Amino acid sequence: MTFASKLHYLMLLSGVSQIELANQTKIERSTLTKILNGSTLKPKIDTVFTLAKYFNVDITELLDAMNMSDTNIKLKQNYPLSGVLKNLMDARNISNAHQLGKKAGLPANIIIDILNGKTTNPKIKTLQILANFFSVSIPQLCGIDVLPLNYEATSIATSQISVPKLNLQQIPLWLSGEKLNDNITYVNVNLPPIKEKQYAVTIQDNRYFPDLLVGTTLILGADVLPRNNDIVVASVNKLISIYEQIDTRENKVALREAGGKNEIEVVQSNLKILGTVMQQIINRY
């Protein structure tokens, strides 16, 4: 990935525009423009340091992108979000923006602006809603990563169910069948029919950013076995949090807490998976 691609991806992930990034980092907008359009392949080190600090990434990630050979990766100056979205709509037999908006839960005018190329850097919430709807990643949606060759945007039969919204500490009590003293609210969601118990967790703060945005509601299956890269709620040494499962290694499981960078290995006897994320509902207001 080139430096321009890396910066564009970080901006998409954080939901920051070029103007906002310039204002908040005090980097000249013209400097950012030259980086993003590929005119500047190796910006000044203080610029790189400022960007790394702003996006909370290791500076070596940006330096590695600068040192990559231009012959290995073709620089994309125009990210074909509109073209990818049109292809995904065709694959799902969605004929227009109004139909997509109704199905995905987005205003039609936002989708029209994307399809017409008027909006090339939409808000991260918009991208996440579209990516979740089509079951692709944000980089794939924006044309930074390619879709799998065998990708099919086929719809899955779902049914509407009502699931309880819990906080992390309530989950083990609810799973054990104990009656909760607090008033429990319920969320209506569309999910493939399964037999496992399901519940919801809403992200209340920035602890898990940028993996999970504030206001995002996670729908979890209590007995769904996680695969690598799945997001789970787990009890690690009796402390409950939200993790990405990285790998299973003999009697240990590698995890990364959402929003963090460090990978940890946990002996399976000290780990209890309380639920696997089946769906994310992005806060749309």
CATH (domain of 107): 1.10.260.40
Residue 108 lies in a domain: yes
- pLDDT at res. 166: 95
pTM score over 0.75: no
Q: Is 256 left (phi over 0), alpha (psi -120 to 50) or beta?
A: beta
Instruction: Say yes or no: 136 and 246 in one domain.
Output: no
Do 94 and 133 reside in the same domain of the chain?
yes
Do 184 and 247 reside in the same domain of the chain? yes
pLDDT, tens digit, 9 for 90 and up, residues 172-218: 999 998 888 778 899 887 665 555 689 999 999 889 987 888 888 89
In CATH, what number is assigned to the domain containing residue 257? Answer: 2.10.109.10
Last-in-domain residue among 67, 91, 121: 67
Q: How many domains does the chain have?
A: 3
Judge if 58 and 87 occupy the same domain.
no
Say how many Å lie between the first and final Cα of the chain, rounded. 33
> Does residue 75 sit within a domain?
no
Q: What is the dihedral of CA 10, 15, 19, 22, to 10 degrees?
A: -40
What is the pLDDT, as a whole number, of residue 209? Answer: 84
Instruction: Please list the ranges in the chain whose pLDDT falls under 50.
Output: 68-79, 153-157, 284-285
Instruction: Look at residue 77 in the predicted model and tell me its pLDDT.
Output: 37
pLDDT on residue 201: 95
Residues 6+ apart with CB under 8 A from 53: none
50 and 112 together in one domain: no
Pair of tokens at residue 183: 């008033």
**Residue 194 domain-assigned?**
yes
Domain span holding position 115: 81-141
Q: What residues pair up with 239 in beta bridges, in sequence order? A: 236
In a domain, 208, yes or no: yes
The per-residue pLDDT for range 260-280, each reduced to its tens digit, is 889 999 998 899 999 988 777
Same domain as 206, residue 136: no
Let me know whether 178 and 238 are in one domain: yes
Contacts with 135 (C-beta within 8 Å, 6 or more apart), sequence order = 153
pLDDT computed for residue 69 by the predictor: 36
* Same-domain pairing of 172 and 272: yes
pLDDT value of position 192: 57
For residue 94, what is the DSSP state? -
The reply to whether 54 and 87 lie within a common domain is: no
> What was the pLDDT predicted at 164?
93
**Beta-sheet strands, E only, within 9-114:** none
Length of the chain: 285
Handedness of CA 216, 220, 226, 227 (dihedral sign): negative
What type of residue sits at position 218?
L
Contacts of 253 (CB under 8 A, 6+ apart): 245, 247, 265, 266, 268, 271
